[in-house]
A = this chain, B = another copy of it.
């Protein structure tokens, strides 16, 4: 293994000079820098990560905690993770993958051993047991999702409340008066996943504001459940003409189910969804949707973390991305009755 002393000798300087040339923390003459760079290239030098971490108390590694639970759309998690990795690399950092299964002990482990400099935590619950820990940890963290009490924590998320409202407002603008929300699987609400509840709030608020008849229905992530949900909705709200779907897994089967029950989309029934754009656009009937910007969320999270690591004093605590609705083929004005 070639080390910094080898480079120093080869370039005719001291090890500290090589270190400063690499880090830029002290001025180095162009001439010297060039010699050092040449030596590094020639010898194929790579600084030892452990030695660096020990001496500088910086590992240049971020921890990313991903959820494993059911009811969470896997491609979204993946997109997010990839985006975090890509962004971290732009700032010369790497990403350590943790599963939620490891729990608080896992967070402690990687933080207290200085394996990582900072953490990104996904799938935050309204009353997440990890919050106190994250607050006391000596390393900064960014949460994806907003817990009930977010003070002192850096949080990033899509504004799901506004997303719910946006979907309803769109339907209202098209003249629909009776709407329903097909939500995430029941277990997601049971464990008080923040974003799911916010969608419900936004949906309800906007429906009330517009004087619409509305109902909310969680839905397990299976085609059979989708079909059952569609049947129940039509039975209980025969005048239903607008549906908001916040459940990636059943979006397609749900559309199919409605059509098999005799409703044409969008002629008889308008559908809007909150889901990744790729999914909405790829369906047989492309669905008008509010995008779930997983990649942007990942990027933002990583960037906020880098700012905090840089000691930036005014990193915003709350970052809510504004939802954007893309019109596709699943929405139309309500037919005159």
* Chain A residues within CB distance 8 Å of chain B: 44, 46-54, 59, 61, 64, 66, 68, 74-75, 77-78, 81-82, 85-86, 89, 94-99, 101-102, 108-110, 112-115, 222-224, 282-284
**Sample of 26 A–B contacts (CB below 8 Å):** A44-B112, A46-B109, A46-B112, A46-B113, A47-B113, A48-B54, A48-B113, A48-B114, A49-B50, A49-B59, A49-B115, A50-B53, A50-B59, A50-B114, A64-B97, A75-B75, A78-B78, A81-B97, A85-B99, A89-B102, A94-B110, A96-B96, A97-B97, A222-B282, A223-B283, A224-B284
Question: Given A49-B114, A49-B115, list of 17 further CB < 8 A pairs?
Answer: A47-B113, A48-B54, A48-B114, A49-B50, A50-B114, A53-B53, A74-B75, A74-B78, A78-B78, A86-B99, A94-B96, A94-B110, A95-B96, A95-B97, A97-B97, A223-B283, A223-B284
Task: Give complex CA distance A49, B66 in Å.
Answer: 22
A219 → chain B closest CB, angstroms: 14
**Which A-B residue pairs are the 6 nearest by beta carbons?**
A50-B53, A46-B112, A50-B54, A49-B115, A49-B113, A97-B97
Instruction: Please measure, in the bound complex, the distance between the C-alpha atom of A212 and the C-alpha atom of B253, giving whole angstroms.
Output: 35
A74 to B53, CA, bound (A): 34
